[in-house]
Amino acid sequence: MAKKVVATLRDKSALKSFAKVIKAVKNEKTGAYTFKEEMVAADNVAEALK
């Protein structure tokens, strides 16, 4: 028999959605760019990019 996927019984309205924000940060010494990744709540994406 095949296994069935069981749905979770959580309240969907209580869950927050998240976004992955990737910033390019320039190194002062070498001038090379590195990428900084962080997970941010979808409501705070604009603040994270400042």
pLDDT along the chain (50 residues), means of 10: 66 76 93 94 87
CB 39 within 8 A of CB 18: yes
Two structure tokens written together for 32: 């090379």
Which pLDDT does position 49 carry in this prediction?
Answer: 83
**Cβ of 28: how many Cβ atoms within 10 Å?**
6
The domain ranges of the chain are 17-48
Q: What's this model's pTM, rounded to 2 decimal places?
A: 0.56
The DSSP 8-state label assigned to residue 46 in this structure reads H
